[in-house]
Chains A and B, each alone.
Chain A
């Protein structure tokens, strides 16, 4: 898989022993080769555009923009994996985003102030957020009910949702864009004011590092306890080191993205700092959307691989009848995947509307396609039962890095769509080819 995605020649029977040894070592670390390959593909794409732009693309500020732009789709893709794994589809996600984003905007500018909770009340954004998440869960739950309990095909239910929810956005706003959200809420969208700052970023790195090492130690103990084979010690140390280095590296990277000069001067004045020659450097650190992506990815991975719900989803996707006969409450499981999808859409809508400082009629338009594409590029199979959450998140980054890279190099958005479409087909084509080859061997 890895080789196919990076364009390296596929190994044949005459492949030399070195590659076998490397494969053996990789197997010992239990690194997911498919994910590893996607990471390399992502790096390849970015590097390609980096050269094309004359060495200007790969910089902290630009990478932060890229991740923030991908964050909504990445978050929704984690839910889409579970939906597709359980042999359903959700075409309504873009429209759910539209409805919830418009709801946030109207709640903050219109509905809540009418109830006496104005823009100046400090908790207004939390109330709006909670209601928005609730709306997302309700919409998802209703669709899930129709699919799981009434038995209407998910394609039809969510196609209906795609149309009627998008229409509802028009009705909610009577066709106009709404703007002017609460400042606190806007931080969810990142940008210069929505970043956590230098210290907090290092703290995140520290916590991540400790968590990674802790997890490795805990896993090793658990495996010993239940008599499972453990990874060789060198692999454990290597993984821990790589994980820690990645966390610290990413934090350092995020911290080398600075406040723009004008705002830095303002910051210096406000904090009574005399500006050094060459301007004050105020590190921004991680923006909120990136933390949300990381948080959602971790939570969803945990849910999918460590909780009963996740097991049920994969069991159902692998063989619905067997899952049913094994006593799994399959209907409730399916309905839950759609509720979860609705909530994730509401999170994505918060990022989208916060970035825009409002909502237009087309927020989330055609997001369903990007979300499904991200999940599929990330290795989720329409045959059901197969797909990983980190894969889908990486898939979202791959798709967005194509769009961003092209845009950065001044290529028009219609051309971006052409490239995105072709990459989607190639990625899935290679995947299918590799799977077939793997199964016949």
Chain B
């Protein structure tokens, strides 16, 4: 048993090694890649989606990738795994069978997607890890800065409420975004420093199972009751995402609390409407349209034989506000490793484009309208004309 497992590890390592070399410039004699390099116009870009149940993938990401690819003369094909890891492996095989030259992968399970990477590596197809990290040095990782989301949330909140009593509402404790990335973003913005200096007092700090709105609401109501019993007034709520922020706002309303600043991220319709109504202070928005464009352009460049490390985002393709802080050329990104802990020795380095999220408050809601994310009718539904933000007037 043990030797066999060892052999399997060796095998996997060998394949990984092969994957690395095939992605490096010296490996251009690989048949798939040389064919692609000779004629970028024949480039077939395949996308394996993990689900279309969340509307954003089909509504925002897919059309942008497709348009970018087709504008560059390529062909777009895709498959939807419907939240099934095994289905996704089948999808990848069939996409490669259909002649994919580049594979864009939104992994259902970042650990379970390993065999799909092997299949792609064997066929000499470079892989783009789209929005969700795959722990493998051979991939190009395209996403929004998740630590940056937390930083943007906290920075916006500290501008509104620089000191006072804060409640922290975190997401599912099993999600590294909830337990690691977002809180470290908060700390980068100075949360821990403010706690240490006594500027900010944490009234309560709660995780929310499965990011559930109902759970967040129940917890927040109990926190308000508890604070009321202590005679403590809550000044602001740092909520990690929009589904929990929605529960927080409902709890504040049920308790008749005067609106206090609440944070969130995702750009969900209901939350942006709350921003317009003044019920949520900031919603950190990751414009999936821009992410799709970057992935489409990168796929075409990979097709043309460009080395991953020297990929650049074409000038003017994306909005400057979301451009990576590292510039338009691909940068190295150190992953947290399979254990999710930074600096624990199991990290790997991937090539990446890390886009910047945009904090949306009542002041810059027009960005939402300009990008076509929401129409004015939807965004401003039920907004009181007297107190309406500029975007709704």
Contact = CB atoms under 8 A, between A and B. Distances in A.
Interface string B258-279: 1000000000111101100000
A356 B268 contact: no
A403 B208 CA distance: 13
Interface in B196-246: 204-210, 212-215, 217-219, 221-223, 225-226, 228-230, 243, 246
Contacts of A142: none
Interface in A252-269: 259-260, 262-263
Contact of A403 (B204, B218, B270): B218
Given A170-B53, A355-B254, A360 B226 contact: no
Interface string A385-416: 00000000000000000011001111011100
B207 A260 contact: no
A178 B382 CA distance: 13
Tier of interface size on chain B: 35 or more
A241 to B, nearest CB: 32
B225 A180 contact: no
B226 A176 contact: no
Given A355-B217, A360-B243, A57 B229 contact: yes
Interface residues of A, number: 47
A62 interface: yes
B256 A191 contact: yes
Interface of B is mostly: helix
Interface string A160-187: 0000000000100011111110000000
A256 B53 CA distance: 47
Contacts of B208: 413
Contacts of B221: 65, 69
Contacts, number: 120
A316 B208 CA distance: 42
Nearest to B257: A260
B255 A260 contact: yes
Interface of B: 53-55, 173, 204-210, 212-215, 217-219, 221-223, 225-226, 228-230, 243, 246-247, 250, 253-258, 268-271, 273-274, 381-382
A65 B257 CA distance: 14
Contacts of A404: 218, 222
A177 B270 contact: yes
Interface of A: 53, 56-57, 59, 61-62, 65, 68-69, 109, 119, 170, 174-180, 189-193, 259-260, 262-263, 352, 355-358, 360, 362-363, 365, 403-404, 407-410, 412-414, 417
14 contacts: A62-B229, A177-B213, A177-B271, A179-B246, A180-B273, A190-B254, A191-B256, A192-B254, A260-B255, A262-B258, A356-B213, A407-B206, A410-B206, A414-B209
